[in-house]
């Protein structure tokens, strides 16, 4: 009986020790929004929809994010992988397995918009809630475009 | 106890820093850098090269033993970035090893070319998000 309890205890410790993988998972939900909306969103040059758009992205990869909208300048930045603090849980709780598993699953990382000299690209804001990344981009008007008219809704 | 701490620290450092594949490159004829708006064709083993291309260089993606970001799509995307930096608009896979018992990574040998024609008309691999 004691052996069963010890085995169960050991299994529980080992299973619960991959902190970041259990808490965060190997993928991260990312929501991309823009002002104005309806901009085409490209991740690694693949069109994924128009803003607002939500994707589940692998944490162990970096993504090049591009937004295109007629009359506005093309916006470009990177989603970089940064250190996920949940990984420290492995050290705090003695999870030797987790120290190996979390880097393999990619849970050791979390995605964040690129920063240059500690600053985000102009027009970019982001927030993280419950592990989900919300990125909002304010697009600049293209100075080379010219407004020729505007459609109005008829009553 | 100190020994264990050292080992844990080492594993942590390796885990954080060594998740990218090992890339070796050899650029014999670099061209002017391409802008992001210029297309780069990704040719898999089965896709044939057009005529009149100029070879720019070679890339080799290997498993660094701790690589995790090494899917085919991810490597092709990294190859495209390197191609643009060196003015190539064709990425041609010439040798492809799929993940197997010895490695969980794709291992690729790639040649980069500059083509003056329209690369979007070439029969090519369509990149996907993993």
Residues 6+ apart with CB under 8 A from B85: B33
Task: Reply yes or no on whether the pLDDT at A15 is more than 70.
Answer: no
With respect to residue B54, please indicate whether it lies within any of the assigned structural domains: yes
Distances in Å between the Cα of B122 and the Cα atoms of A47, B46, B91, B115 are: 19, 12, 12, 11
More confident residue, A81 or A2: A81
Asked if B69 and A106 come within 8 Å (Cβ–Cβ), the reply is yes
Work out the mean pLDDT of chain A and round it to a whole number. Answer: 82
Domain ranges of chain A: 2-138
Do the Cβ atoms of B129 and A55 come within 8 Å? yes
What is the tally of structural domains in chain B? 1
ipTM: 0.72
Does residue A96 belong to the interface with chain B, where contact is any CB pair within 8 Å? yes
pLDDT at A67 over 80: yes
DSSP at B118: -
Residue A60: what pLDDT?
A: 83
- Please give the CATH number for the structural domain made up of A2-138: 2.60.40
A100-146 pLDDT tens trace: 777 777 777 888 898 888 888 889 999 988 888 999 999 999 888 77
- Over residues B10-30, mean pLDDT: 72
pTM: 0.75
Query: 10 Å Cβ neighbour count for A125?
Result: 13
> Structural domain of residue B96, as residue ranges?
20-121
CA distance B53 to chain A (A): 24
Question: Which of the pair, B92 or B69, is modelled with greater confidence?
Answer: B92
Distance between B102 CA and the closest CA of chain A, angstroms: 15
**Residue B56 clears pLDDT 90, i.e. is over it:** yes
Q: Do A61 and B16 touch (CB under 8 A)?
A: no
Q: Is the peptide bond before A52 cis (omega within 30 degrees of 0)?
A: yes
Q: Hunting for tokens 């885990």 — which residue is that?
A: B15
Q: If you count residue pairs, one on A and one on B, with CB atoms under 8 Å apart, how many are there?
A: 52
């Amino acid at each position: 009986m004691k052996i069963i309890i010890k085995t169960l205890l050991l299994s529980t410790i080992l299973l619960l020790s991959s902190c970041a993988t259990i808490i965060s998972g190997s993928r991260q939900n990312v929501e991309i929004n823009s002002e104005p909306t309806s901009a085409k969103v490209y991740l690694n040059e693949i069109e994924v929809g128009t803003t607002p758009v939500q994707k589940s992205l692998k944490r162990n990869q970096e993504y090049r994010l591009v937004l295109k909208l007629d009359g506005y300048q093309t916006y470009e930045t990177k989603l970089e992988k940064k250190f996920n603090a949940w990984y420290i849980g492995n050290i705090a709780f003695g999870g030797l397995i987790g120290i190996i598993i979390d880097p393999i699953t990619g849970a050791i990382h979390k995605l964040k918009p690129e920063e240059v000299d500690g600053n985000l690209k102009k027009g970019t804001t982001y927030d993280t809630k419950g592990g989900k990344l919300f990125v909002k981009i304010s697009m600049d008007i293209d100075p080379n475009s010219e407004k020729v008219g505007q459609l109005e809704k008829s009553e | 106890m100190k020994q264990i701490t050292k080992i844990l620290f080492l594993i942590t450092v390796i885990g954080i820093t060594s998740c990218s594949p090992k890339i070796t490159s050899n650029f014999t004829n670099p061209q002017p850098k391409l802008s992001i708006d210029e297309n780069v064709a990704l040719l898999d083993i089965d896709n044939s090269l057009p005529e009149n291309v100029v070879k720019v260089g070679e890339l080799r993606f290997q498993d660094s033993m701790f690589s995790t970001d090494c899917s085919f799509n991810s490597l092709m995307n990294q190859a495209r970035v390197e191609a643009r930096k060196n003015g190539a608009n064709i990425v041609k896979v010439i040798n492809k090893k799929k993940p197997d018992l010895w490695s969980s990574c794709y291992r690729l040998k790639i040649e980069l070319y500059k083509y003056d024609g329209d690369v979007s008309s070439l029969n090519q691999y369509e990149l996907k998000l993993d």
